Amino acid sequence: MDAFQQLLKTFFDWEAMAAVLPNLFAVGLPNTLILAITSGILGCILGMILALMGISRNPVPRWIARIYTDIFRGLPAIVTILLIGIGLGPAVRALTGSTNPFPLGIFALTLMAAAYIGEIFRSGIQSVEKGQLEASRALGFSYGSSMQLVVVPQGIRRVLPALVNQFIALIKDSSLIYLLGLLSSQREIFRIGNDAASNTGNLSPLVAAGLLYLLLTIPLTHLVNFIDNRLRSGRPEKKEPDEAAAVVGKGAQA
């Protein structure tokens, strides 16, 4: 019984959790969202460029996109973050005079996200039926206009669930940015929970950080399922009027 009480005290010390919650919500949550959202937006832009390069008629951009994707999908996230954050740090300090590692963390997350998002976009674009492109060309659209106005929007719509899944991965990968030595005001959810756990010798603050991650990711997971079901089944059909109801304008029959 004592061992069970000790276990509960180690993981579920409510006082330790309550003490770390203000920092988790006031500092950790905004910084985590900044890292994930910023790198997600930039990753989508770079990913779309890689996707269009990957389906280009020219073999040179196809090979460039392929090599980029293979490298950044093959490297572990922690290796990419350390190489970018620590390797480029001195060059950035020499050019800007700033020692802020936060932008380098966003840059590293963007490079990783773009490799995955580019493949997501490419598969979505290539899944659009060839007849869509041919029909738009028959209507007088150029190849570029057909891709921009017809094919690419349909491809993006088809991969929305995969894009949300990638955003969930970014939220979790943002926890690795702590390796770059963030300032106190830049700490994300994991770093705040980990620091509190180290100071108190109790894992409850880290559990609180984990629960906050779940609070972010579980609703997004259900959003993925909702979007996927909607894309598969389409909008629900409107129910037909009750056949027994009186026809508008004619009144009830005697």
Provide the residue-wise pLDDT of the chain in tens; the chain has 254 residues.
Answer: 577 788 888 888 899 999 999 999 999 999 999 999 999 999 999 999 999 999 988 999 999 999 999 999 999 999 999 999 888 888 887 787 777 788 899 999 999 999 999 999 999 999 888 888 888 888 888 888 888 888 888 888 889 889 999 999 999 999 999 888 888 888 999 999 999 999 988 999 999 999 999 999 999 989 888 887 877 776 666 655 555 455 555 554 54
Contact 109, 39 (CB under 8 A): yes
Q: Scan for tokens 């950044």, then name that residue.
A: 72
Could you give the domains of the chain?
2-233 (1.10.3720.10)
- What's residue 231's pLDDT? 72
Number of other CB atoms surrounding residue 105 within 10 Å: 26
Q: How many residues does the chain have?
A: 254
Burial of residue 182, with CB atoms counted within 10 A of its CB: 0-12 exposed, 13-18 middle, 19 or more buried: middle
Burial of residue 98, with CB atoms counted within 10 A of its CB: 0-12 exposed, 13-18 middle, 19 or more buried: exposed
Q: Measure the CA–CA gap between 93 and 99, rounded to whole angstroms.
A: 6
